[in-house]
């Protein structure tokens, strides 16, 4: 049985640990924030004192961290995983990372005899807990095939996107499309509602009623998606940096990036991602159903 370690025990990392446990695998965990590991320790998770210690005890390291620079620090910082990992250890990075930084990390790991698979994931903590994530992989095909059993524990829809960095590139494009579409949808609902149309009918007619009816225009009040505007804004930055790297002018997307930056500044980075709707309402001087007074 593969010995697994998880670095990063936030909502996604914690849910992955629960999924592994439910499937008969007890993963070792580590997080720079000691408080993040306490709920998992209470459920029986072995907790390492450092990334280095964790790496010395496992053959596969799953990283679930906010950004690429956090992965780089976890691997190569003081007490980092690269110091303790045995040659042949594989890092499966589920962070929504920057593809170019992912490639740099993979090159540095390879110099130490370690391997890396970038593993973009979509489906949130609920999907991570159930093992039903949509997975986008980048890396050496033989390495991916070797670890497919572990990858299949994480998700039910798996796409091999190409070499190192391709998985994270695909994930950032998925994020970008979702964020732009959600922003345009909110604007459409606001325009229709302010004109006098029933916004739920607008959503039904344009084919965009699901998440907005359940989370935004819910008669019982708005629900949090469970993902922060700070991380969503970071995802926008990654996507626009990728667009710049490949020389694509993405004007619509860059406008969305600025909207999310404004929301993060106005409401704080920990606000729920769909709090952007509140900001659009403030600008329009009109509220959709579901907003608390």
Domain ranges of the chain: 4-163, 170-284
Across-strand partners of 136? Answer: 120, 159
pTM for the predicted model, two decimal places: 0.93
So what's the pLDDT on residue 1?
A: 61
Length of the chain: 293
The two three-digit tokens of residue 148, written as one number: 């497919």
| In this structure, CATH architecture of domain 170-284 | Orthogonal Bundle (1.10)
CA distance 96 to 122: 10
What is residue 181's predicted lDDT score, i.e. its pLDDT? Answer: 95
How is residue 205 written in tokens? Answer: 């007619």
- Which phi and psi (to 5°) does residue 226 adopt? 100, 20
- Tell which CATH architecture fits domain 4-163: 3-Layer(aba) Sandwich (3.40)
Alpha carbon distance 149, 144 (integer Å): 9
DSSP 212: I
Q: Which residues pair with 121 in a beta bridge?
A: 135
SS (H, E, C) the chain: CCCEEEECCCHHHHHHHHHHHHCCCCCEEECCCHHHHHHHHHCCCCECCCHHHHHHCCCEEEECCCCHHHHHHHHHCCCCHHHHCCCCCEEEECCCCCHHHHHHHHHHHHHCCCEEEEEEEECHHHHHHHCCEEEEEECCHHHHHHCHHHHHHHEEEEEECCCCCHHHHHHHHHHHHHHHHHHHHHHHHHHHHHHCCCHHHHHHHHCCCHHHHHHHCCCCCCCCCCCEHHHHHHHHHHHHHHHHHHCCCCHHHHHHHHHHHHHHHHHCCCCEHHHHHHHHHHHHCCCCCCCCC
Full pLDDT tens readout for the chain, 293 residues: 678 999 999 999 999 999 999 999 989 999 999 999 999 999 999 999 999 999 999 999 999 999 999 999 999 999 999 999 999 999 999 999 999 999 999 999 999 999 999 999 999 999 999 999 999 999 999 999 999 999 999 999 999 999 999 999 999 999 999 999 999 999 999 999 999 999 999 999 999 888 899 899 999 999 988 899 999 999 999 999 999 999 999 999 999 999 999 999 999 999 999 999 999 999 999 999 999 87
pLDDT of residue 2: 74
Do 4-163 and 170-284 have matching folds? no
């Amino acid at each position: 049985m593969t010995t697994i370690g998880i670095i990063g025990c936030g909502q996604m990392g914690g849910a992955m640990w629960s999924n592994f446990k439910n499937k008969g695998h007890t993963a070792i965990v580590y997080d720079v924030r000691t408080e993040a590991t306490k709920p998992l320790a209470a459920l029986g998770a072995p907790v390492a004192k450092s990334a280095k210690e964790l790496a010395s005890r496992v053959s596969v390291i799953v990283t679930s961290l906010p950004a690429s620079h956090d992965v780089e620090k976890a691997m190569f910082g003081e007490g980092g995983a690269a110091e303790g990992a045995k040659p042949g250890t594989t890092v499966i990075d589920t962070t929504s990372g920057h593809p170019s930084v992912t490639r740099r990390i993979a090159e540095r790991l390879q110099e130490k005899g370690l391997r890396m698979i970038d593993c973009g994931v979509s489906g949130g903590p609920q999907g991570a807990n159930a093992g039903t994530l949509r997975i986008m992989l980048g890396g050496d095909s033989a390495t991916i095939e070797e670890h497919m059993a572990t990858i299949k524990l994480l998700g039910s829809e798996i796409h091999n996107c190409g070499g190192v960095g391709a998985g994270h590139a695909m994930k950032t494009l998925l994020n970008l499309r979702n964020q732009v579409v959600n922003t345009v949808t909110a604007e459409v609902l606001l325009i229709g509602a302010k004109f006098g149309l029933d916004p739920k009918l607008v959503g039904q007619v344009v084919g965009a009623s699901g998440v907005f009816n359940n989370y935004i225009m819910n008669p019982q009040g708005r629900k949090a998606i469970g993902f922060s505007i700070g991380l969503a804004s970071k995802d926008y930055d990654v996507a626009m940096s990728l667009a710049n790297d490949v020389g694509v002018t993405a004007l619509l997307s860059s406008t969305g990036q600025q909207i999310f930056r404004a929301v993060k500044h106005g409401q704080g980075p920990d606000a729920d991602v769909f709090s952007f709707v509140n900001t659009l309402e403030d600008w329009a001087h009109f509220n959709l159903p579901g907003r608390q007074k």
